[in-house]
Chains A and B, each alone.
Chain A
Amino acid sequence: GQSLEQPSEVTAVEGAIVQINCTYQTSGFYGLSWYQQHDGGAPTFLSYNGLDGLEETGRFSSFLSRSDSYGYLLLQELQMKDSASYFCAVRDQRSGNRDDKIIFGKGTRLHILP
């Protein structure tokens, strides 16, 4: 089966660093993505890791370890506007199926304290 596990909630202080972890189990795997969703808004793409290692985009970084089926999103210099839900997502492909789909975790609600 397919599953992604991430913490339901994380709380951090403005200006600090926070890490949101994600473990996954899929029949096929072609990369881990992260999306941000503010209340009432649409999910927006943050980052993608296709290979092991760290990808950095401004204040956000994402890490992947395919051997551990694990990744994380790192947010630095937290700002109040970073209060949102964060979803990890994997591209999953079934054997013999010509196409694939992106499935999402249940999301981590990030609370930022002033």
Chain B
Amino acid sequence: DAGVTQSPTHLIKTRGQQVTLRCSPKSGHDTVSWYQQALGQGPQFIFQYYEEEERQRGNFPDRFSGHQFPNYSSELNVNALLLGDSALYLCASSLGVAVGANVLTFGAGSRLTVL
């Protein structure tokens, strides 16, 4: 049973560039949430996708955008990269968005370095 897969695992960009990160949820899951984790910090919620719609959003600027596809996979796009965007980007999948959907399954993350 495949878990959550993310790509790429590592990437280096320069300021001002754009990046796209990809995520395939665990088999049977239909909801994808994206988190940003700086070194030594907890995951910060970026947004959540369900039924191909953005359902919830954290305190991130519009430079951060996403998409969910009919097969439940998802992309995270970040435009006009800043040095402060350097972090581990985690994708987490779950089943549904109701109160009972309390368990997140995380991917190994995409480590983004902005120079």
- Of the candidates B33, B56, B58, the one whose C-beta lies within 8 Å of that of A97 is B56
Q: Is the CB of B42 within 8 A of A48?
A: no
Q: A106 on the interface (CB 8 Å rule)?
A: yes
22 example contacts (A-B, Cβ-Cβ < 8 A) are as follows: A35-B104, A42-B107, A42-B108, A42-B109, A43-B90, A43-B92, A43-B104, A48-B102, A48-B103, A87-B42, A99-B56, A101-B48, A101-B56, A102-B45, A102-B104, A103-B45, A104-B42, A104-B43, A104-B45, A105-B42, A106-B42, A107-B41
Q: B86 on the interface (CB 8 Å rule)?
A: no
Q: Is the CB of A43 within 8 A of B99?
A: no
Report B's interface with A, CB cutoff 8 A.
4, 33, 35, 40-45, 48, 50, 55-56, 58, 90, 92, 97, 99, 102-109
Which residues on A sit within 8 Å (CB–CB) of B58?
Answer: 101, 103
Besides A33-B102, A99-B55, A100-B56, 4 other CB < 8 A contacts?
A35-B104, A43-B92, A100-B99, A104-B43
Min Cβ gap A3→B in Å is 11
Which residues on B sit within 8 Å (CB–CB) of A107?
Answer: 40-42
Q: Is the CB of B97 within 8 A of A99?
A: yes
Q: How many A-B residue pairs have CB under 8 A?
A: 64
Q: A41 on the interface (CB 8 Å rule)?
A: yes
Q: Mark A77-111, 1 if CB is under 8 A from B, else 0.
A: 00000000001000101000111111111110000
Q: Is the CB of A50 within 8 A of B102?
A: yes
